[in-house]
Amino acid sequence: MESNWDMGEFAISSINWGHNGNYTCSYALRERPFVFSAPSDPLELLVSDPKLTRPTISKSPTGSVALGGQVKIQCEIQGGPAKFYLHKDGDPAAKWPMENDRNVGEFFISNVNWGHQGNYTCSYAFTTRLAGFSVCSDPLELLISDVDSDHLHRIIIWTIRASGLLILVLLLLFLPFILNRCSKPRS
């Protein structure tokens, strides 16, 4: 380990499956070499297997998701059975296990809020050999909208119908007046 006054750097050469796991660190001051600090928060190291195919990620519904709504994110592979994990960009601690059915992992988010917006990826490891994880899928962007698209669609349809009805009523009210004016002889 190399260190300067306020940081230590650890290098792992020739990484292999045995390096998968959680790591913590602690320190001791030079003037008190036998008194160690409390351990750091754990850092999980996942060794990926470049031979595993990249999973595909999708969501339902497609498009943006309404605030307070629900979304299902799926991760899919060919082959299996596998254990799937969902990751959120910008959140290194975010690695959620997904419910799985051999080739497909599913993750449900209910009561969607602004904190759920962002890019998601997924990875997997075969349950028959827990040595390495796949590389992550291409990113999937989850966009949140504060208007429910079905509700907005109903409002637009109602507005169009109400406008059409208003025009029809106005025509029926003014039609006798227009017909009366047109039928009178001009003098």
Q: Which CATH superfamily is domain 56-145 in?
A: Immunoglobulins (2.60.40.10)
Q: What is the pTM of this model?
A: 0.60
Among 91, 125, 90, 89, which residue's Cα sits nearest to residue 105? 125
Q: Give the count of beta carbons closer than 10 Å to the beta carbon of residue 83.
A: 16
DSSP-derived 3-state class of residue 77: coil
Mean pLDDT, all residues of the chain: 83
Please compute Rg for the chain using Cα positions: 31
Predicted confidence (pLDDT) at residue 127 exceeds the cutoff of 80: no
Note the pLDDT of residue 15.
84
Out of 48-52, 78-82, 129-133, pick the least confident.
129-133
Note the pLDDT of residue 151.
66
3 state SS for 126-151: ECCCCCCECCCCCCEEECEECCCHHH
Q: pLDDT by residue (tens digit) across 14-61? A: 888 788 788 898 888 878 888 888 998 888 787 888 888 899 999 999
CB-based contact 85:122 (threshold 8 Å): yes
CB-based contact 124:45 (threshold 8 Å): no
